[in-house]
Amino acid sequence: MRIAAAAYPVEFMPDFDAYARKLSAWVPDADADLLVFPEYAAMELASLGGAAVAADLQASLHEVARHWPAVEALHLQLAAQHGCHILGGSGPVFDGSGRPFNRAVLYGPEGRIGHQDKQIMTRFEREEWHVAGAPGLRVFDTALGRIGILICYDSEFPLLGRALAEAGAEILLVPSCTDTVAGFNRVRIGAMARALESQCVVVQAPTVGACDWMPALDENRGRAAIYGPPDGFWPETGIIAEGAMDQPGWVRAVIDPARIRRSRTEGAVLPFAHWPEQEPCRVLRQMPEN
């Protein structure tokens, strides 16, 4: 299986056709079976409302949500045309409650496979942007295997990744959007930890570059990467492939799903199998003996 993770620059778009041309160039350039675009990559569509709309936190969300039908049609066309699976860049979806969810949609050659909403919001999302969490994890059965999605901050919570692994996920997709190197590293460390403890492949795809016309995504730091567990079946660092920091483009790797299953049964260590041994975890308070 060929996997490609995008380090994706958010750019001002004069019209939807420009956005369609951009994605129509990115998708074939990946040359992969599974393509992963970043968290909030769809926010570049806020530019279609003009500079004032893009600069307004709430107006930008509504502008992007307005274009979801066209976004989905474009991704369906590209997935069918190139015979690949695409995790589209996530963006806001309103359900009538007044607060949007952050949604990533997985498309396949045969159509829309399903979506995953972000579970846990960062402080900026909940305190300033008013984006809401939408509890409910999904595992997607695809021709490439079982896939789970942890959107950015969600990757930092081990029980979310464990739930997906227990449900059969062998590949976890982590689209991300971070405005500092520290933020990027938090997601990176979380993604690598999920690969370690669940002995699976984790794909991180970040937004990169400056975006001075939209305060919600004004700075974007990160590098695309594909991680595995350093258990004897994968690189000793756990890094299968990674790109240069803040450099746009695809990072690619060829993965044999059978190796994931071998890791879980024949690895030098077996954290996926041994996970239950930590439950229940009792902590005894030790008082001074004297």
Q: How many CB atoms lie within 10 A of CB 288?
A: 4
Span 174-184, mean pLDDT?
Answer: 98
Whether 288 has a pLDDT exceeding 90, the answer reads no
58 in a structural domain: yes
Contacts of 160 (CB under 8 A, 6+ apart): 119, 120, 137, 150, 154
Alpha helical stretches, state H, 115-180: 123, 158-166
Q: How many CB atoms lie within 10 A of CB 57?
A: 15
Which residues participate in catalysis according to the annotation?
39, 118, 152
3-state helix, strand, coil in the chain (%, to 5): 40, 25, 35
Sign of CA dihedral 131, 216, 90, 177: negative
What's the pLDDT band for 236 if we cut at 50, 70, 90? very high
Residues 200 and 260 sit within 8 Å (Cβ to Cβ): yes
287 in a structural domain: no
Whether 55 has a pLDDT exceeding 80, the answer reads yes
Give the model's pLDDT for residue 123.
Answer: 96
Strand, helix or coil for residue 211: coil
Give the model's pLDDT for residue 285.
Answer: 82
- Containing structural domain, residue 45: 2-278
Whether 187 has a pLDDT exceeding 80, the answer reads yes
Give the model's pLDDT for residue 289.
Answer: 77
Contacts of 220 (CB under 8 A, 6+ apart): 9, 10, 177, 178, 179, 206, 207, 208, 209, 210, 211, 246
* Cα separation, 100 vs 64, whole angstroms: 11
172 in a structural domain: yes
Residues 199 and 263 sit within 8 Å (Cβ to Cβ): yes
Look up the CATH number of the domain holding residue 109.
3.60.110.10
176 or 279: which leads in pLDDT: 176
Per-residue pLDDT tens over the stretch 241-265? 999 999 999 999 999 999 999 999 9
What's the pLDDT band for 279 if we cut at 50, 70, 90? confident
109 burial type by CB count under 10 A (0-12 exposed, 13-18 middle, 19+ buried): middle
Strand partners of residue 234: none
**Long-range CB contacts (within 8 A, 24+) of 67-72:** 67/16, 67/42, 68/93, 70/16, 71/42, 71/45, 72/105, 72/107, 72/112
Strand partners of residue 253: 3
Q: How much is the pTM?
A: 0.96
Span 75-90, mean pLDDT?
Answer: 98
Strand partners of residue 142: 145
Number of domains the chain contains: 1
**Interaxial angle between packed helices 158-166 and 181-198, expressed in degrees from 0 to 180 and rounded to the nearest 10:** 40
289 in a structural domain: no
Span 15-32, mean pLDDT?
Answer: 98
284 in a structural domain: no
* Percent above pLDDT 90 for the chain: 94
To the nearest whole number, what is the mean pLDDT of the chain? 96
Q: How many CB atoms lie within 10 A of CB 113?
A: 20
* Cα separation, 9 vs 203, whole angstroms: 18
Span 158-164, mean pLDDT?
Answer: 98
288 in a structural domain: no
Whether 282 has a pLDDT exceeding 90, the answer reads no
Whether 290 has a pLDDT exceeding 80, the answer reads no
Per-residue pLDDT tens over the stretch 85-143? 999 999 999 987 789 999 999 999 999 999 999 999 999 999 999 999 999 999 999 99
212 in a structural domain: yes
98 in a structural domain: yes
